[in-house]
């Protein structure tokens, strides 16, 4: 069902981006240089698309009973992102043909999964953060990172694309994706160590997960 929420998030984001685009000149978007590229990459793509995914994650998935350990946040975040990418790929292939399919498969789909994974990881941290005033600052930080990191990485990815599909662009995107893979994989391991379903594992001090009822 999280995947279906991602499918729904795509037209929501597209409608929101269209509404925001109406506030600025179309000529400026095409001829505005670096400010226009930054706006398109970080606002129309990064902020709006990740916000649409985040709403699905926090408004719906976050409250599911099945969301009962930190790792679930990462899994559900990726599922939402892949649903989003599926609809986006359909629109791209409908407009540009199958010639771009390999680029979407190699770069866009994994990128969306990484953005969703980082968002879900921090959502899981927020949900299972141990109680206590000393963690108030950490809780605020993780709430900010839940949206800020996907927006920043998504914006950087799209900003590189807007500079043209040269070898330098693909190298930059590949390095960015590789670095983000390592970033997310480290958080996967942290969430796995915090799982109450993992035998003989002590939870990190900043997580609080209800006792496991079964597997």
DSSP labels, 17-59: HHHHHTTS-HHHHHH-HHHHHHHIIIIIIIIHHHHHHHHHHHH
Question: Residue 212: is its pLDDT beyond 60?
Answer: no
Residue 203 lies in a domain: no
Residue 24 has pLDDT above 60, yes or no: yes
The per-residue pLDDT for range 55-73, each reduced to its tens digit, is: 999 998 888 888 888 888 8
Residue 211 forms part of a structural domain: no
pLDDT digits (tens, 9 = 90+) for 73-126: 889 999 999 999 999 988 888 888 887 888 788 778 888 998 998 899 889 888
pLDDT band at 207 (very low <50, low <70, confident <90, very high): low
Is the pLDDT at 22 greater than 60? The verdict is: yes
pLDDT for residue 55: 93
pLDDT in tens, 184-201: 788 777 777 767 766 654
Question: What is the total count of domains within the chain?
Answer: 1
pTM: 0.80
Q: Which residues, 6+ apart, have CB-to-CB distance to 22 below 8 Å?
A: none
The C-alpha atoms of residue 30 and residue 36 are separated, in whole angstroms, by 7
Strand ranges inside 10-157, DSSP E: none
In a domain, 205, yes or no: no
In angstroms, the CA 30 to CA 44 distance is: 14
Domain that holds residue 44: 2-193
Distance CA 29, CA 47 (A): 17
Asked if residue 22 is part of any domain, the answer here is yes
Does 77 fall in a domain?
A: yes
- Is residue 167 assigned to a domain? yes
């Amino acid at each position: 069902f999280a995947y279906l929420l991602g499918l729904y998030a795509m037209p929501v984001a597209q409608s929101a981006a269209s509404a925001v685009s109406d506030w600025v000149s179309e000529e400026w978007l095409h001829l505005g240089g670096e400010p226009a590229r930054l706006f398109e990459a970080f606002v129309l793509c990064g902020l709006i698309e990740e916000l649409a995914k985040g709403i699905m994650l926090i408004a719906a998935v976050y409250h599911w009973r099945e969301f009962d350990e930190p790792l679930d946040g990462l899994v559900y975040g990726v599922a939402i992102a892949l649903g989003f990418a599926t609809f986006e790929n359909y629109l791209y292939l409908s407009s540009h043909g199958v010639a771009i399919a390999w680029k979407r498969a190699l770069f866009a789909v994994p990128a969306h999964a990484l953005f969703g994974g980082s968002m879900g990881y921090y959502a899981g941290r927020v949900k299972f953060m141990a109680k206590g005033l000393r963690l108030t600052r950490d809780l605020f930080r993780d709430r900010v990172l839940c949206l800020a990191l996907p927006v920043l990485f998504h914006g950087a990815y799209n900003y590189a694309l807007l500079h043209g599909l040269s070898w330098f662009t693909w190298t930059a995107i590949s390095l960015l994706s590789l670095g983000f893979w390592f970033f997310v994989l480290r958080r996967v391991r942290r969430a796995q160590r915090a799982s109450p379903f993992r035998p003989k594992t002590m939870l990190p001090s900043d997580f609080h997960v209800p006792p496991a009822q079964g597997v």
